[in-house]
Amino acid sequence: MKYTYFISATGAGTGLTSVCLGLVRALDQLGVRVAFSKPIAQQFGNDNEPERSTHLVNATLGLNPAEPIKLAHAQQQLALGHTDPLMEDVIQIAQSSAEEADVLIVEGLVPVADESYIAELNRNMAKALDADVILVAAKNADSTAQLNERIKMTASLFGGVNHRRVIGCILNKVGAPDPSEQQVIAEEDPSMASAEPAEVVPAEDYANILPVFQNDGFKCLGAVEWNPLLVAPRTLDVANHLGATVFNEGQIAERRVQSITVCARTMPNMLHTLKAGALVVTPGDRNDVLLAASMAALNGVPLAGIILTGDIMPPTHVMNLCHAAFTSGLPVMTSKLNTFRSAQRLNSMNTEVPANDVNRMESVMDAVAASINAKWLAERAEVIEERRLSPPAFRHLLVQQARAAAKRIILPEGTEPRTIRAASICQEKGIAQCVLLGDPEEIRRVALTQDIVLPDSIELVDPEVARAKYIAPMVELRKHKGLTAPMAEAQLEDCNVLGTMMLALDDVDGLVSGAVNTTANTVRPALQLIKTRPDASLVSSVFFMLLPDQAVVYGDCAINPDPNAEQLADIAIQSGDSAKAFGIEPRIAMISYSTGQSGTGSDVEKVREATRIAKERRPDLLIDGPLQYDAASTPSVAASKAPDSQVAGRATVFVFPDLNTGNTTYKAVQRSANVVSIGPMLQGLRKPVNDLSRGALVEDIVYTIALTAIQAAQMKNA
Q: Cα(511)–Cα(496) distance, rounded to whole angstroms?
A: 9
Q: Say if residue 284 is in the same domain as residue 299.
A: yes
Q: Cα(665)–Cα(553) distance, rounded to whole angstroms?
A: 12
Domain C-terminal end among 476, 494, 529: 529
Given a contact cutoff of 8 angstroms between Cβ atoms, the answer to whether 701 and 596 are in contact is no
Q: How confident is the model at residue 207, as a pLDDT?
A: 64
Q: Say if residue 573 is in the same domain as residue 663.
A: yes
Q: Cα(298)–Cα(317) distance, rounded to whole angstroms?
A: 18
Q: Say if residue 414 is in the same domain as residue 495.
A: yes
Q: Does residue 183 surpass a pLDDT of 60? A: no
The DSSP secondary structure of 237-249, one letter per residue, reads HHHHHHT-EEEE-
3-state secondary structure of 691: strand
Given a contact cutoff of 8 angstroms between Cβ atoms, the answer to whether 543 and 554 are in contact is yes
Mean pLDDT over residues 505-511, rounded? 95
Q: Say if residue 220 is in the same domain as residue 247.
A: no
Asked, for residue 26, whether it belongs to a domain, the answer is yes
Task: Give the confidence band of 198 by pLDDT, cuts at 50, 70, 90.
Answer: very low
What is the pTM for the complete model shown? 0.68
The larger pLDDT score, comparing residue 388 to residue 82, is at 82
Mean pLDDT over residues 670-677, rounded? 82
Q: Does residue 662 surpass a pLDDT of 50? A: yes
Q: How confident is the model at residue 194, as a pLDDT?
A: 41
Mean pLDDT over residues 94-119, rounded? 86
User: Considering Cα of 43, then 46, then 47, then 51, what sign does the dihedral take?
Assistant: negative
Q: Say if residue 47 is in the same domain as residue 170.
A: yes
Q: Does residue 495 surpass a pLDDT of 50? A: yes
Mean pLDDT over residues 314-320, rounded? 90
Mean pLDDT over residues 376-387, rounded? 72
pLDDT digits (tens, 9 = 90+) for 9-65: 999 889 999 999 999 999 998 888 899 999 999 875 544 567 888 988 888 888 889
Q: How confident is the model at residue 340, as a pLDDT?
A: 86
Q: Say if residue 635 is in the same domain as residue 656.
A: yes
CATH of the domain at 491: 3.40.50.10950
Given a contact cutoff of 8 angstroms between Cβ atoms, the answer to whether 582 and 394 are in contact is yes
Q: Say if residue 578 is in the same domain as residue 623.
A: yes
Q: Cα(92)–Cα(128) distance, rounded to whole angstroms?
A: 11
Q: How confident is the model at residue 179, as a pLDDT?
A: 57
pLDDT digits (tens, 9 = 90+) for 555-603: 899 889 999 999 999 999 999 999 998 888 999 999 999 988 877 788 8
Mean pLDDT over residues 260-283, rounded? 86
Least confident interval from 290-299, 484-493, 669-678: 669-678
Q: Say if residue 463 is in the same domain as residue 599.
A: no
Q: Say if residue 559 is in the same domain as residue 458.
A: no
Asked, for residue 332, whether it belongs to a domain, the answer is yes
Domain C-terminal end among 494, 529, 564: 529
Asked, for residue 624, whether it belongs to a domain, the answer is yes
Q: Cα(460)–Cα(73) distance, rounded to whole angstroms?
A: 61
Amino acid at 641: K
Mean pLDDT over residues 106-121, rounded? 86
Between strands 245-248 and 166-174, the pairing is unpaired
Q: Nearest Cα to 436, choosing from 354, 342, 508?
A: 508
Q: How confident is the model at residue 711, as a pLDDT?
A: 92
- Altogether, the residues listed in the chain come to a count of 718
Q: Say if residue 116 is in the same domain as residue 239.
A: no
Instruction: Report how many domains make up the chain.
Output: 4
Asked, for residue 712, whether it belongs to a domain, the answer is no
Task: Give the confidence band of 216 by pLDDT, cuts at 50, 70, 90.
Answer: confident
Task: Give the confidence band of 675 by pLDDT, cuts at 50, 70, 90.
Answer: confident
Q: How confident is the model at residue 10, as a pLDDT?
A: 93
Q: Cα(82)–Cα(60) distance, rounded to whole angstroms?
A: 35
The overall average pLDDT reported for the chain is: 87
pLDDT digits (tens, 9 = 90+) for 349-374: 877 788 788 888 888 998 999 899 99
Peptide bond into 680 cis (omega under 30): yes
The larger pLDDT score, comparing residue 106 to residue 75, is at 106
The DSSP secondary structure of 137-163, one letter per residue, reads EE-TT--HHHHHHHHHHHHHTTT-TTS
The DSSP secondary structure of 466-493, one letter per residue, reads HGGGGHHHHHHHTGGGT--HHHHHHHTT
Maximal CA-CA distance, the chain:
92
Q: How confident is the model at residue 117, as a pLDDT?
A: 86
Asked, for residue 339, whether it belongs to a domain, the answer is yes
Q: What is the dihedral of CA 511, 516, 519, 520, to 10 degrees?
A: -100
Task: Give the confidence band of 406 by pLDDT, cuts at 50, 70, 90.
Answer: very high
Asked, for residue 534, whether it belongs to a domain, the answer is no
Give me the sheet containing 166-174, strands edge to edge.
34-37, 103-107, 3-9, 132-138, 166-174, 219-225
CA 697 to chain CA centroid, nearest Å: 10
CATH of the domain at 215: 3.40.50.300
Q: How confident is the model at residue 228, as a pLDDT?
A: 82
Most confident of 103-117, 304-318, 544-558: 304-318
Given a contact cutoff of 8 angstroms between Cβ atoms, the answer to whether 46 and 115 are in contact is no
Q: How confident is the model at residue 196, as a pLDDT?
A: 45
Could you give the C-alpha distances from 658 to 29, 368, 661, 669, in angstroms and in order? 34, 43, 6, 17
Q: Does residue 200 surpass a pLDDT of 70? A: no
Q: Nearest Cα to 367, choosing from 514, 186, 551, 225?
A: 225
Given a contact cutoff of 8 angstroms between Cβ atoms, the answer to whether 375 and 384 are in contact is yes
pLDDT digits (tens, 9 = 90+) for 626-649: 999 999 999 889 999 999 899 999
Q: Say if residue 652 is in the same domain as residue 552.
A: yes
Q: How confident is the model at residue 44, as a pLDDT?
A: 59
Burial class (CB in 10 A: 0-12, 13-18, 19+), 24: buried
Task: Give the confidence band of 185 by pLDDT, cuts at 50, 70, 90.
Answer: very low
Q: Cα(50)–Cα(48) distance, rounded to whole angstroms?
A: 7
Most confident of 62-66, 86-90, 131-135: 131-135
CATH of the domain at 661: 3.40.50.10750
Asked, for residue 118, whether it belongs to a domain, the answer is yes
Q: How confident is the model at residue 202, as a pLDDT?
A: 54
Q: Say if residue 115 is in the same domain as residue 220.
A: yes
Give the range of the structural domain holding residue 294, as residue numbers without chain letter. Answer: 235-347
Q: Does residue 658 surpass a pLDDT of 70? A: yes
CATH of the domain at 329: 3.40.1390.20
Q: Cα(659)–Cα(677) distance, rounded to whole angstroms?
A: 17
Task: Give the confidence band of 205 by pLDDT, cuts at 50, 70, 90.
Answer: low
Between strands 622-627 and 587-591, the pairing is parallel
| Phi, psi (deg, nearest 5) at residue 457 | -80, -10
pLDDT digits (tens, 9 = 90+) for 225-264: 888 888 889 999 999 988 999 999 999 998 999 888 888 7
Burial class (CB in 10 A: 0-12, 13-18, 19+), 122: buried
Given a contact cutoff of 8 angstroms between Cβ atoms, the answer to whether 374 and 26 are in contact is yes
| Residue 562 CB neighbour total at 10 angstroms | 12
Asked, for residue 710, whether it belongs to a domain, the answer is no
Percent of the chain with pLDDT strictly greater than 70: 93
